[in-house]
Amino acid sequence: PQTIYLKDYTAFGWHAQSVALEFTLDPHKTRVRSRIAFTPNPDAPAQDFFLHGEALALISAKIDGQDVTPTLTDGGLTCAVPAAPFIWECEVEIDPANNTALEGLYMSNGMYCTQCEAEGFRKITYYPDRPDVMSVFTVTINGPHPVLLSNGNPVTASENHAEWHDPWPKPAYLFALVAGDLIAHEGQFTTKSGRDVALNLYVRPGDEGKCAFGMQALKDSMKWDEDVYGREYDLDLFNIVAVDDFNMGAMENKGLNIFNSSAVLASQATSTDLNFERIEAIIAHEYFHNWTGNRITCRDWFQLCLKEGLTVFRDSQFTSDMRSAEVKRIGDVIDLRGRQFAEDQGPLAHPVRPESFQEINNFYTATVYEKGAEVIRMLKTLVGDQAYADAVALYFDRHDGQACTIEDWLQVFEDTTGRDLSQFKRWYSQAGTPRLSVSETYADETLTLTFNQTTPPSAATADPQPYVIPVAVGLIGADGDEVLPTTILEMTQAEQSFTFSNLPIRPAASILRGFSAPVVLAHDADNAHLLAHDTDSFNRWEAGRTLARNALLGMITKGTRPDPAYLDGIYTLVNDTTLDPAYRALMLGLPSQSELANALHEAGHTPEPDIIHAAVETMREALAKKLGDALPELYAANQVSDSYQPDATQSGARALGNAALSLLTRRDAGAQAQAQYDSADNMTQQLAALANLIRAGRGDTAVKAFETQWKDDRLVMDKWFGLQVIEADPEDAFEVAAGLTEHPDFNWKNPNRFRAVFGSLALHHAGFHHASGAGYALLADWLIKLDPVNPQTTARMCSAFQTWKRYDTDRQSLIKAQVQRILATPNLSRDTTEMLSRIIS
């Protein structure tokens, strides 16, 4: 396959002034007519006229009304064109019903829908399918469907016919079309300048009762973007459509967002509190793209973090404002460590702005999204809130309507602050997670902190250079008072010292407060003291996490007992009713088994998944024992009697109640879990109870009852499939997963269902890495089966193998053999080939 390089970027030789598309829908023979007004681009180098196109049957092509015969190539067509402005017209036929890859125009449960990011538009018609070609689209849809939607504002609509016009120039990846028998949940929003916007959430009949929350989240997002970023919505209409078959979470098409139904449909009975929170965040994320992504888009796909990092950062700010900022930050860091650090420390490591790719779909990664957001967070920390606001306002003013680069983004910060950001830019160009170590000396009432940064070399970055690292530091006195409030130290060198004087008594240093930079910190801190007293809520939680991690590593490598200092500290905190229940629930969490495996590997040990699993079980047992008599009270005090709301307060109480339940189950053999299962009036309670019953070995009846109750609800059944794998004993996990693939409702072509089983298997550390290799073989079998049907989802699932070098030589050989077996499959997709070749390299 061909490798594309950032350094080879050249502008397209023509501007597309306007685009008119006409669709005549048919499951197997949809006709697409296009009429595009091209004018030469005087700023582009001389080039052949090339339009992308894939899986298209060309019916006819004309230039200025005259038939032409283009030369068809692998990925498109070339054609001789006039040196002046001209009109390109063409007609193609496509087959949406057989489009199982879910890119381009496809069908899901009888409805037509599109997914064009990143390069799906070329499966709809011949077009310069690149983000820097922006044009104004008019779309006509003919088809026997009650609902016919496209981007922008409606022009006309009659039976079987609709016309849409989008006045805002956009790249083809933001094009969307939906047609089907859908029901609209309606809403309305008045913008800050007084314009009325009609809002619709379109769903399949039967899903009407799951729309209210998503609609409110949309209104909250629109208001927040006005209040915090001054961004107003710019069309008369904003439509969201829920689709069952979707490769990712959602897509920000201009004025017509398309959502995986799991990312928008919600109800008390069918969705957990975490589902509600995720839905609110995704709706916000897609809405915020209207400015950061749509009005200002990316020049090329290497700049993906320009829109994704910024939009993830914006949606995290939104969630912090809507819910609890401390809980959101801790959740984000858990997620970053679990997904992004694993990526950045393995063979798939790449810079936030990659420099080459074979298949761009493989670069919608935790590094581009989540590390990209962390980079913006650091920038804001370094320049301060006001300068950040000024720079972003300048970005919107200067670049509205343009396709931009990271250089454009950093330039507005340089212009606003006068700072030189050339060293900071390394966060965009270098791969790998920096290791930040700190040592302390104390003499003459002066504390000196000496920091050292190193980043391990990787295939993507052979010789990493020092970063600018904002290190947020505070000092805590012996009696728990704050001696120094949070102060930002700006580290720019490989080694650097900072001194703090006038400290008659040596304080405890609280370093990297709020997780001020995405680094691995090594600090021999007084974690028990910080757990009791740190005034920074993130670092207080982090102190507990570090104590837990160190205790578990000691148990695994030296056979030590669970650390009493950790257990005592957690006991005090969890019973401190002045603290937010959601925060206390997080305190009861342990590092994931995969995170422990990584920590062991980093420390020079070979992780053994069953020993890690056993240590975590022992620690949970010790926590249950320590909290012992307090558990019934902790459980009872966190039962919500008010009518159900998925807000931060109620979800926090349920999170703590359910954390108590999982420890209580170890003491009462599942009696309380059964009672909760029998009385639950919401999915958060029902699912947590079911998980505990399975763990207690008495889940059979409830598992059957749950299936009977929910067999007609696709999204709840995804939970049913996933939970059985997640909660399986490590010895049985792959058999449970294999058994579920025999279930009549295991519709493996549906990405949500496939991920429910195999995403859960990959997350089950001790089950997936079972010494027999059966987990690896099962996943490989199914990836081979899925690849010809849906390469994008197959390739994403390959990341389950990315950590293979951590393990013993037997497991390494087993994984390698499976990866090579997949790679040897004839006609393997470019997506999967690239992922596995990088993993195995």
- Residues with a catalytic annotation lie at 286
The residue (of 251 and 543) whose beta carbon lies closer to ligand HT7 is: 251
Minimal distance in Å, beta carbon 282 to ligand HT7?
Answer: 8
Minimal distance in Å, beta carbon 102 to ligand HT7?
Answer: 7
Minimal distance in Å, beta carbon 627 to Zn ion?
Answer: 40
- Among Zn ion, ligand HT7, none, what does residue 295 contact (CB within 5–8 Å per kind)? none
The residue (of 311 and 453) whose beta carbon lies closer to Zn ion is: 311
Q: Does 252 bind ligand HT7 (CB under 6 A)?
A: yes
Q: Which stretch binds ligand HT7 (CB under 6 A): 115-123, 191-199, 394-402, 685-693?
A: 115-123
Minimal distance in Å, beta carbon 312 to Zn ion?
Answer: 7
Pairing of strands 356-357, 4-5: antiparallel
The residue (of 285 and 353) whose beta carbon lies closer to ligand HT7 is: 285
The residue (of 308 and 595) whose beta carbon lies closer to Zn ion is: 308
Distance in angstroms (rounded) separating the CA atoms of residues 694 and 692: 5
Minimal distance in Å, beta carbon 279 to Zn ion?
Answer: 15
Q: Does 367 bind ligand HT7 (CB under 6 A)?
A: no
Choose, by CB under 6 A, the member of 54, 89, 95, 117 that binds ligand HT7: 117
- Among ligand HT7, Zn ion, none, what does residue 247 contact (CB within 5–8 Å per kind)? ligand HT7
Bridge partners of 67, per DSSP, are 62
- Among Zn ion, ligand HT7, none, what does residue 508 contact (CB within 5–8 Å per kind)? none
Q: Give φ, ψ of 356 to 5 degrees.
A: -155, 155
What are the residues whose beta carbons fall under 8 Å from the beta carbon of 227, sequence distance 6 or more? none
* Interface positions, 264-303, toward ligand HT7 (CB under 6 A): 285-286, 289
Q: Which stretch binds Zn ion (CB under 5 A): 50-58, 301-309, 376-384, 654-662?
A: 301-309
Residue nearest ligand HT7, CB atom distance: 248
* Interface positions, 747-766, toward Zn ion (CB under 5 A): none
Burial of 556 (0-12, 13-18, 19+ CB in 10 A): buried
Identify which of 204, 306, 215, 307 has the alpha carbon closest to the alpha carbon of residue 252.
307
* Interface positions, 73-102, toward ligand HT7 (CB under 6 A): none
- Among ligand HT7, Zn ion, none, what does residue 364 contact (CB within 5–8 Å per kind)? ligand HT7
Cα distances (angstroms) measured from residue 564 to each of 263, 567, 570: 42, 5, 10
- Among Zn ion, ligand HT7, none, what does residue 56 contact (CB within 5–8 Å per kind)? none
The residue (of 311 and 651) whose beta carbon lies closer to ligand HT7 is: 311
Q: Which two tokens stand for residue 740?
A: 């579920």
CA atoms within 13 A on the CB side of 698: 14
Rg of the chain on CA atoms, in Å = 27
Distance in angstroms (rounded) separating the CA atoms of residues 33 and 46: 28
The residue (of 306 and 382) whose beta carbon lies closer to ligand HT7 is: 306
- Interface with Zn ion: number of residues (CB under 5 A): 2
The residue (of 201 and 250) whose beta carbon lies closer to ligand HT7 is: 250
Residue type, 313: F
Peptide bond into 118 cis (omega under 30): yes
Residues in the chain: 841
Q: Which two tokens stand for residue 762?
A: 């990959």
The residue (of 291 and 807) whose beta carbon lies closer to ligand HT7 is: 291
The residue (of 248 and 661) whose beta carbon lies closer to ligand HT7 is: 248
DSSP states along 400-417: TT-EE-HHHHHHHHHHHH
Cα distances (angstroms) measured from residue 15 to each of 18, 70, 294: 9, 19, 18
* Interface positions, 306-345, toward ligand HT7 (CB under 6 A): 308
Other CB atoms within a 10 A radius of the CB of residue 813 amount to: 13
Minimal distance in Å, beta carbon 248 to ligand HT7?
Answer: 3
- Among Zn ion, ligand HT7, none, what does residue 139 contact (CB within 5–8 Å per kind)? none
Q: At what angle do helices 609-627 and 648-668 cross, to 10 degrees?
A: 100
Separation of CA 671 from chain center: 37
Identify which of 303, 219, 289 has the alpha carbon closest to the alpha carbon of residue 257.
289
Q: Which stretch binds Zn ion (CB under 5 A): 21-29, 182-190, 302-310, 513-521?
A: 302-310
Phi-psi region of 444 (alpha: psi -120 to 50; beta: other; left: phi over 0): left
Q: Which stretch binds ligand HT7 (CB under 6 A): 110-118, 203-211, 345-353, 388-396?
A: 110-118
Minimal distance in Å, beta carbon 117 to ligand HT7?
Answer: 4
DSSP states along 435-477: EEEEEEEEETTEEEEEEEEE----SS-SSPPPPPEEEEEEEE-
Minimal distance in Å, beta carbon 170 to ligand HT7?
Answer: 13
- Among ligand HT7, Zn ion, none, what does residue 185 contact (CB within 5–8 Å per kind)? none
Minimal distance in Å, beta carbon 151 to ligand HT7?
Answer: 15
The residue (of 247 and 832) whose beta carbon lies closer to ligand HT7 is: 247
Identify which of 394, 412, 343 has the alpha carbon closest to the alpha carbon of residue 372.
343
Choose, by CB under 6 A, the member of 30, 99, 114, 115 that binds ligand HT7: 115
Query: What string of H, E and C letters represents the secondary structure of 749-791?
Result: CCHHHHHHHHHHHHHCHHHHCCCCCHHHHHHHHHHHHHCCCCH
- Among Zn ion, ligand HT7, none, what does residue 571 contact (CB within 5–8 Å per kind)? none
Q: Interface mask (CB under 5 A) for Zn ion, residues 303-332, using x and -?
A: -----x--x---------------------
Three-point CA angle 255, 257, 262, nearest 5°: 160
Q: Which two tokens stand for residue 36?
A: 């595009």
Q: Which two tokens stand for residue 693?
A: 């019953």
Minimal distance in Å, beta carbon 368 to ligand HT7?
Answer: 9
- Among Zn ion, ligand HT7, none, what does residue 716 contact (CB within 5–8 Å per kind)? none
Q: At what angle do helices 406-417 and 304-322 cross, to 10 degrees?
A: 60
Identify which of 99, 33, 96 has the alpha carbon closest to the alpha carbon of residue 60.
33
- Among ligand HT7, Zn ion, none, what does residue 834 contact (CB within 5–8 Å per kind)? none
- Among Zn ion, ligand HT7, none, what does residue 117 contact (CB within 5–8 Å per kind)? ligand HT7
Identify which of 579, 581, 578 has the alpha carbon closest to the alpha carbon of residue 652.
581
Three-point CA angle 425, 430, 436, nearest 5°: 90
Q: Which two tokens stand for residue 698?
A: 């008495």
* Interface positions, 212-251, toward ligand HT7 (CB under 6 A): 247-248, 250-251
Minimal distance in Å, beta carbon 765 to ligand HT7?
Answer: 27
- Among Zn ion, ligand HT7, none, what does residue 251 contact (CB within 5–8 Å per kind)? ligand HT7
Residue type, 685: Q
Bridge partners of 38, per DSSP, are 16, 86
Cα distances (angstroms) measured from residue 447 to each of 475, 503, 509: 10, 7, 9
Q: Which stretch binds Zn ion (CB under 5 A): 144-152, 187-195, 223-231, 300-308?
A: 300-308
The residue (of 243 and 555) whose beta carbon lies closer to ligand HT7 is: 243
CA atoms within 13 A on the CB side of 742: 5
Q: Does 129 bind ligand HT7 (CB under 6 A)?
A: no
Minimal distance in Å, beta carbon 285 to ligand HT7?
Answer: 6
The residue (of 275 and 311) whose beta carbon lies closer to Zn ion is: 311
Pairing of strands 237-243, 256-260: parallel
- Among Zn ion, ligand HT7, none, what does residue 353 contact (CB within 5–8 Å per kind)? none
**For tokens 């796909």, what's the residue?**
301
- Interface with ligand HT7: number of residues (CB under 6 A): 13
Residues near ligand HT7 (CB under 6 A) are 115, 117-118, 247-248, 250-252, 285-286, 289, 308, 364
Residues near Zn ion (CB under 5 A) are 308, 311
